[in-house]
Structure 1
């Protein structure tokens, strides 16, 4: 039984934003959003330069996309159920500051609970740590650098989930 948040055709919010399960057809747009993210400019660019959010990845994992009233992607996340990990999360540069990130995190935690997870790990992009902490994640450690792509340590955080939210 699907919850309203994970139903095949979710109802749009008053502002027209909806979150739906991504499909292989979203691959190019989600890949472009990640690769063009201003959060990964400069020395962080190497992390997303070769990133591809391909159709197989989308079909294999719990990838959800937030869209506006016209169906244009505003952000997305990928939840790896087996690893209990938020693998990817991006908000389009033009949608920064509109609450899309918080909306996606709320959806992700509901999705994780629905699948029986009690915690979700996040290895954060260093500048995003403040966001994750603001939406309820707690820092639990540091993941060491992994050159050549990741030349800096990254914060490790966890969302601790309770059945009631």
Structure 2
């Protein structure tokens, strides 16, 4: 598996991965329809969000985005193809975003986590710092997490 920058022409593919990954948790059609806009990337967002993909055998297995301006940013999106969940793809993407964030001066990333993904982020070293309102579902609260980023060597 390798991690590489996403290409603008992969926006539709990454949006489809995000929707399949979200649906993995058993959400109904109405919930998924409400999330569709939030989970859709356009080509211009690929670079702006510092999007990286995990790829193996020419197949994109997942992606991650890094949003914001140092020193505080956001791990904006992290989605993995359902058949690759539990196979280390998410871990590799978090490791990548941590390294990249540290190299460009981020010291802390926040994560608006799906409740089902919170245990994964906690296992990756994030801590819960509160809740945040869902952008898609009125009245729904999401775990708000923080991931501290070590200073890059020589920084």
Question: 1 CA distance for matches of 2:92 and 2:62?
Answer: 10
Residue 74 of structure 1: which of 61, 64, 68 is its match? 61
Kindly report structure 1 stretches of 4+ aligned residues shifted beyond 6 Å. none
* 2:48 aligned residue: 60
* 1:10 aligned residue: none
Corresponding position: 1:132 with 2:116: no
TM-fit CA distance, 1:40: 6.1
Determine helix, strand or coil for the equivalent of 1:36. Answer: helix
Shift in CA distance, 40/104, structure 1 to aligned 2, threshold 3 Å: farther
Question: 1 CA distance for matches of 2:47 and 2:27?
Answer: 29
CA contact (8 A) 1:81 1:112 kept: no
TM-score by length of 2: 0.86
Residue 4 of structure 2: which of 11, 14, 20 is its match? 20
* 1:118 aligned residue: 107
Structure with bigger strand share is 2
CA contact (8 A) 2:6 2:52 kept: yes
TM-fit CA distance, 1:149: 2.8
TM-score by length of 1: 0.81
**Which of 72-81 and 39-48 deviates more?**
39-48
| RMSD, aligned CA | 2.0
Question: 2 CA distance for matches of 1:21 and 1:133?
Answer: 25
Question: 1 CA distance for matches of 2:97 and 2:73?
Answer: 11
Determine helix, strand or coil for the equivalent of 2:15. Answer: helix
* 1:9 aligned residue: none
- Per-residue Cα deviation, 1:19-63 (whole angstroms, up to 9, x for no partner): 000011111110111122213622642453233211000021210
Equivalent pairs, count: 147
Residue 49 of structure 1: which of 36, 43, 63 is its match? 36
TM-fit CA distance, 1:114: 0.6
